[in-house]
Amino acid sequence: MNVLLVDDEDQLVSTLAERLQLRGIEASWVTRAEDAILLVKAREFDVAVLDVKLPKIGGIELKRKLQAIRPGMKFLFMTGHGSREDYDAGSREAGEGNYLVKPVKIEELLDHLFALVGPETKA
């Protein structure tokens, strides 16, 4: 599985990427939406995990841009913002339940990733 992590908290995404890599998942990370767009243009990812509240371009807008580049890509939102409105908006965009509130247990994240991408990609 090839995962892209996008969050403006660099210590969060870099550590999470390292933990996914320890579990045999290929994980890349960026802290800016603009960099995510460039990376997705250059490479294919199975799934992107996006923060909802990203600077300049929000996570939902970024998801739409990435999906336009790679229509087959899957998405999962991860946020520290727990309002009902945000949950509903995120679920509408990425599918019911694909909206995780920080802090997230890695087992829970892995369950969501495999549910989105399929068990055949398990290491």
Partner 1 sequence: MTSDASSPLFHDPGECGLHFFGAVSASISHELKNALAIINEHAGLLEDLSALAERGRPVDPQRLQKVSANIARQVQRADGIIRNMNRFAHSIDAPVNTVDVPDILRFVAGLTERKATMAGVVLNVVPETAPFSAQTRPFFLLNLLWICLKALIEAIPSGSAIQMGVTAEGHHATVWLHGGQAQALPDIHKNAIQQAAMLIPMLGAEVRVNDETGNIEIRIPKTICGA
- As a three-state string, the secondary structure of the chain is CEEEEECCCHHHHHHHHHHHHHCCCEEEEECCHHHHHHHHHHCCCCEEEEECCCCCCCHHHHHHHHHHHCCCCEEEEEECCCCHHHHHHHHHHHCCCCEEECCCCHHHHHHHHHHHHCHHHCC
Residue 40 Cβ vs partner 1, minimum distance, rounded to whole Å: 21
Q: Which is nearer to partner 1, 68 or 83 (CB)?
A: 83
The size of the interface with partner 1 (CB under 8 A), counted in residues, is 22
**Cβ neighbours for 62, distance < 8 A, ≥ 6 positions apart:** 6, 33, 36, 37, 50, 54
Q: Binding of partner 1 at residue 80 (CB under 8 A)?
A: yes
Q: Which is nearer to partner 1, 73 or 112 (CB)?
A: 112
- 94 to 113, contacts with partner 1 by CB under 8 A? 101-104, 106
- 38 to 77, contacts with partner 1 by CB under 8 A? 53-56
- Please report where in the chains the tokens 């996570």 appear, as a residue: 59
Residue 72 Cβ vs partner 1, minimum distance, rounded to whole Å: 28
Site map (CB under 8 A) of partner 1, residues 11-30, x = contact: xx--xx-xx--x--------
Footprint of partner 1 (CB under 8 A): 8-9, 11-12, 15-16, 18-19, 22, 53-56, 80-83, 101-104, 106
